[in-house]
Amino acid sequence: MKTGIEYEDSLRKLNLQVFLFGKKVANVVDDPIIRPSMNAVKLTYELAEKPEYEDLMTVTSHLTGKKINRFTHIHQTTEDLVKKTKMERLLGAKSGCCFQRCVGMDALNALSITTYNIDKKYGSDYNSRFLRYLEYVQEEDLVCDGAMTDPKGDRSLPPHQQADPDLFLRVVEEREDGMVVRGAKAHQTGALNSHEIIVMPTISMGEKDKDYAVSFALPSDAQGITYIYGRQSCDTRKLEKGTIDRGNQCYGGHEALVVFDDVFVPWDRVFLFKEFEFAGELVENFASYHRQSYACKVGVGDVLIGASQVAAEYNGVHKVSHIKDKIIEMNHLNETLFCGSLACACEGSRQPSGTYLVNTLLANVCKQNVTRFPYEIARLAQDIAGGLMVTMPAEDDFNSPDVGHWLRKYYAASSSASVENRMRILRLIENITLGTAAVGYLTESMHGAGSPQAQRIMIARQVNMDEKKKTAKHLCGIVE
C-alpha cells in the first residue's frame, strides 16, 4: 500500500490539464486553493498506516490475499459494508470535509456486480476485464474518480434527442483497438486528486440511447481529458497569508467539470459498450452504494457539533437550557443518519458475482435523511454560534496596529477563551455551514448520489405496498 507521502509523489507524476480562474494550473499538488483537497485524500493513506485504524482502513484482497486499502476493496460480507460505514464516519470527523475517495470505491463495487450480470446474459468478457483492472488498482493503491453525472442539457429529453448530442457522454467512433468518446462529466468530486477516472452512464437508457450506454476507465491524465475547477464560497481565503479565516486549517474538498474531447479508450478498459438495458442497473447499484456512503456526513456532523459546543462555552451560554437542548437535537439527528447507513449495510445481501450489495431500500431512506438533517444541524450550529460568525472582521484587522486592539477588546467573551480561539471556532463553523466545506456537507448532502426526488422514486418502487395492504386488511377482517 502507498504511504501518504508516496500518494502525494504519485500525483506529481501526472500531467493533468487543469484550469482555474481561466488559467492553466502549472502545479496542481501545491496550488494553495487545490492542495487542501489533496490533503484530505492523503489522509485516507495516512490513517491506513496507523495500527489503531488498521481494522477499518485496511482489508485482505479477495483477489490476491494481500493487505489493501479498503477504498480499493470489493465487499465480501455485510461486515465489510458495516466497516465501510464506520470508516467513512471516522474520516469525516478527522478531515471535517469530503475526503473524495468513496465515489471510486462505490463505482468499483457496482461494476463488479453489473459486469458479471452482462457476461451471464451475453457471454462477454467484461467481468474478467474488470477483475484485471481491479487487481491493478489494488496493487498500485490508486484513487479512482467515479464519473457518473452528465451535464444533461434539457432534462425533459433523453440523450439522443438533445439539441447538442454531447450533453451526455457518448461513443463517437469505434476502432479495432478501442473506441473514441466525447462529452463531459460534471460535479466530479476529487477528480484532480485521482489516478483513474471510471466513467459510468448517468440514467437508465433505451435502445436509441445505446451510444451513451458506456462504462470505462482511463488514467486521469489521458490525452484529451481537461479539468475545469469548480468555485466554492470563500475559496480565495486560502491565498491569504493568515490561516484563521480559512476555518479548517488543513483540509478541504473540490469539484470539477471533466471534459472528454475525443478521448481514445482501449477495449481492455471498457466495461459496458452499448448494452443499454444494463445502464439502469449500473446506475442503481452505484447509487445505492453511494447513498450508504453518506456516513461521511455523520463524521463532519461530529466536528460541527463539537465546534458548536465549544462556541457555546466561549460565549458563556453552554449551561443555558435551550442551548443544551439544541446540542442534544444535533446529536439525535446525526446519530439517526449513522443508523441509516449501518442499517442498509447490515441488511445487505450477496449478489451472483459474490459481491455484497447494501439493502437498496434502506440506502435510499438513509440518503433521503441526509438531504434534510445536515441542514437542520447546520441551522442549529449557526443559532448557537451567533451572528459574529458572519460579521467578524478579517484576521488582518485583528493584527492591525490601528484597530486590532479594539477588536480584541470588544470581541472578548468568556474569560476562559482568548479572542483568537473564539475567532478560530467561529470560522470553522462558518467553513462547514457556509464556506468551502459547505459544498461537501450541505449541497452535496442535497444533490450527491442523486437529488432527493431520486431517492423518493426508489423508495416508492421498492417498498412492498401490496404486503402492507394485505396485513392491514387481515387485521381488520377484510375479505375480498
Catalytic residue IDs? 98, 102, 189, 255, 290, 294, 296, 444
State the CB neighbour count (10 A cutoff) for residue 40.
Answer: 28
Q: Is the separation of the CB atoms in 313 and 415 below 8 Å?
A: no
CA distance 317 to 314: 8
- Rg (C-alpha) for the chain, rounded Å, is 24
Cα 328 from chain centroid?
27
Strand 349-350, strand 356-357: pairing: antiparallel
Distance CA 87, CA 105 (A): 12
Q: Within 13 Å, how many C-alpha atoms sit on residue 219's CB side?
A: 14
| Rounded (10°) angle between helices 321-346 and 373-385 | 160
Cα maximum dimension of the chain: 85
Amino acid 80 reads D
Smallest Cα–Cα separation from 437: which of 304, 311, 293? 304
205 alpha carbon, distance to own chain's centre: 25
**3-state secondary structure labels for all residues of 172-220:** EEECCCEEEEEEEECCCCCHHHCCEEEECCCCCCCHHHHHHCEEEEEEC
Backbone angles phi, psi at 336, to 5 degrees: -65, -40
Tell me the torsion sign for CA atoms 10, 16, 21, 27.
positive
Angle between helices 360-370 and 321-346 (to 10 degrees): 160
Candidates 275, 111, 261; CA nearest to 180 is: 261
User: Does the annotation place 115 within a ligand binding site?
Assistant: no
Residues annotated as binding site? 189
Residues annotated as binding site for FAD? 189
